[in-house]
A = this chain, B = another copy of it.
Amino acid sequence: METELSKKLGIEHAIFGFTPFPAVAAAISRAGGFGVLGAVRYTAPDELKRDLDWIEAHVDGKPYGLDVVMPAKKVDGVTEADVEAMIPEGHRQFVKETLAKHGVPELAEGEASGWRITGWMEQVARTQLDVAFDYPIRLLANALGSPPADVIARAHDQGVLVAALAGSARHARKHADAGIDIVVAQGYEAGGHTGEIASMVLTPEVAEAVAPLPVLAAGGIGSGEQVAAALTLGAQGVWLGSLWLTTTEAELHSPALTQKLLAAGSGDTVRSRALTGKPARQLRTVWTDAWDDPAGPGPLPMPLQGLLVAEAVSRIQKYEVEPLLGTPVGQIVGRMNSERSVQAVFDDLTRGFERAVARLDRIAGRGRS
């Protein structure tokens, strides 16, 4: 599975794996793909340093990358307290009542909620980058628009390729104009923040819009057949996130959530603003239903919603309150039916890819292999 981009990066398979877990990222790179560590949860530079050290020690010299969340538009001097003050009391009350209704226990005194808005603010992302640029990362991806010009320049100075996610051709062209190197075309069926255009339509549209820049297809890809389809559509590789959540290397630390993921079908996700205020695909739960209910107050815009629900989400996760327990995940969750190692998932992808190519060759009347 060799494309111009995979050759450039020196990887065997044009399969990029996005994951918040260092062990998964390293295993993807070792398997011949390209592991990309999601950095958003690292608010402390030391923790990111520790995990990048771990990857360095376990990646067998294979290339890997980092994904940050860095807004291109800078909002100077805005603190978390400023944002907190913008949340209406009625919304706080709704969170309280919804949690109480489902018996979600309080956190212990002094216990911090996990996710904070700070991970989404530029100064934190810049601290992450200061750490990351000391490591031989080969790719820097940004999930929220193009990175600022100086970050792109710094990456290029160090020989680091820059990737950005796009949900439309227009969005992708803006990235290209900003000087990035790779566009990740994120289809409707993808987990996390995503637009309304499905991968089948989006992938070729973005590939044509930014050619000759390489495009990675994201959304709906969890088998070798789907990898082959995405490459057929003009992508130079695929970007998979959801599929790794149920690998044995993943550290979800929630058996109940893993079970929910293994049991879920492709129809059990929803594109909801419940998590961050922007539409993001995730497991449909009693919690997302409450936010999407027209009778409720509805989600606040980003970044208010994320801040509003941060503690609630921590409590739901910590106490594994099953009906409310969710996670960002794509429609491909219907195919995630067993816990397997990253290597086993990878073998499945590459074997399925070969089968799909042979099948298409037969249909096209080419060499029957």
Contact = CB atoms under 8 A, between A and B. Distances in A.
A189 B201 contact: yes
A232 B359 contact: yes
Interface in A233-277: 233-234, 265-267
Interface stretch (A45-53, A222-230, A339-347): A222-230
How many copies of the shown chain assemble into the complex?
2
Interface in A183-230: 187-189, 195-202, 204-205, 219-221, 223, 225-226, 228-230
Contact of A232 (B168, B195, B197, B229): B229
B334 A205 contact: yes
A interface, size bucket: 35 or more
A198 B334 CA distance: 12
A289 interface: no
A77 interface: no
A360 B223 CA distance: 16
A234 B369 CA distance: 17
Nearest to A195: B267
Contacts of A225: 204, 232-234
B369 A366 contact: yes
Nearest to A332: B201
B266 A202 contact: yes
Interface in A327-369: 331-332, 334-335, 353-354, 356-357, 359-361, 363-367, 369
A294 B294 CA distance: 9
Given A197-B331, A200-B220, A360 B189 contact: no
A231 interface: yes
A329 to B, nearest CB: 12
A133 B360 CA distance: 35
Contacts of A153: none
Nearest to A231: B363
7 contacts: A169-B265, A198-B198, A205-B335, A231-B360, A232-B232, A357-B366, A361-B361
